[in-house]
Amino acid sequence: MASKVFAVDEKAPPQEGNTLEMATVTLAGRDLCSIADLSRSEIAAIMELAHSVKASPADYRFSLDARQMVMFFEKASLRTRLTFEAGMNTLGGSTMFVDQTQSPLGERESLADIARNVERWVSLIVLRTYSHETITEMAEYSKVPVINALSDLEHPCQALADFMTVEERFGTARGVKFVYVGDGNNVCHSLMLTAALLGTHCTVASPKGYGPKQEITAQALRIAGESGATLTLTHDVVGAVRGADAVYTDVCTSMGFEHEVTKRAPIFKPYQVNEALMAHAAPHAVFMHCLPAHRNAEVTDAVLDGPQSVVFEQAENRLHAQKALMVLLLGGGLNGSRDTATT
């Protein structure tokens, strides 16, 4: 099957000094709606701090003392909700959860009015929504940082945790051969953008008609042009996985597309990650999944529970990556509001 390959000449990243110190200034008060909101130095700083937070959690125990976070979730959640709540609580702050699964944001009250109320009470807004525009509109009107905890377009916090896991396994994400197999969905989009920022060689293998959005591909290519990353889009799953360092998959039918389950099942069957497919990857390759997994659908039990699987390491790293992100967006214990303190 034909492949569409985009490549950029490999080059070393520029020397940028202390990236973490710089990011404490550039990220304070900012939103994270998309991975593309970040510069290469900023994402490197988030990764650096995430590893530090994981290694020495006690050092950050009061980083966000007396800060308050509200989470508005239109979709069900296990990892996202618990890791954000545990993260804020162990940084010294507190959390409030608002279940929007029965009442989408903006239905009862305009997003602008919600933002103008909530910004007066809390330091941080975390959203898990269907529409990406819900997140960008909330960010437009809110004076406190807004974090995308999943939308129909992206899942940036998942990608941060995933590439933190890659760094743990390989020492760096730069030059790693990272292969995503399956639907070109929100998770895929954030993985592509993160790989581009970090100089990773990323391949996406999807069935025809189910690849990533063109605008995300264009963004990833632009970023890759600066980082030395490569991006390959293909329908050839075996060719994609051959020699891979990391093989990643996700459910074939994301939340909101449940009506397509029957249609998608036979289309995605050849893209199942099983032992035969993993045999084409490098001997040291790891298997990755954002979870929840549909066992023996997009991935077999043998792979998901096998020795190459790092899925639970990824899940754990959601906690550490999000703690680092919150510390940087809220100034690490400094003023977390863009204009005035909100505690």
Catalytic residue set: 128, 155, 158, 250, 290, 318
Q: Which two tokens stand for residue 60?
A: 């950050």
Query: Rounded to an integer, what distance in angstroms lies between the CA atom of residue 265 and that of residue 79?
Result: 25
Query: Rounded to an integer, what distance in angstroms lies between the CA atom of residue 47 and that of residue 165?
Result: 10
Q: With residue 169 as reference, give the H or E element that holds it.
A: helix 156-170
72 - beta bridge partners? 98, 127
Spell 317-343 as b/e; 16+ CB within 10 A means b.
bbbbbbbbbbbbbbbbbeebbeeeebe
Residue type, 282: A
Query: Rounded to an integer, what distance in angstroms lies between the CA atom of residue 190 and that of residue 216?
Result: 9
Residue type, 165: T
Q: Which two tokens stand for residue 126?
A: 């975390």
Q: Which of these, 44, 36, 31, 56, lies nearest to 320 by C-alpha position?
A: 56
Contact 200/173 with Cβ under 8 angstroms? Answer: yes
Task: Please report the DSSP string for 137-162 in residue order.
Answer: HHHHH-SS-EEES--SS--HHHHHHH
Q: Which two tokens stand for residue 202?
A: 């990323």
Q: Is 70 helix (H, G, I), strand (E, B) or coil?
A: strand
Q: Which two tokens stand for residue 5?
A: 């390959």
Query: Rounded to an integer, what distance in angstroms lies between the CA atom of residue 100 and that of residue 104?
Result: 6
Query: Rounded to an integer, what distance in angstroms lies between the CA atom of residue 176 and that of residue 166?
Result: 8
- Which parts of 182-285 are beta strand (E)? 201-205, 230-234, 246-249
Query: Rounded to an integer, what distance in angstroms lies between the CA atom of residue 311 and that of residue 22?
Result: 32
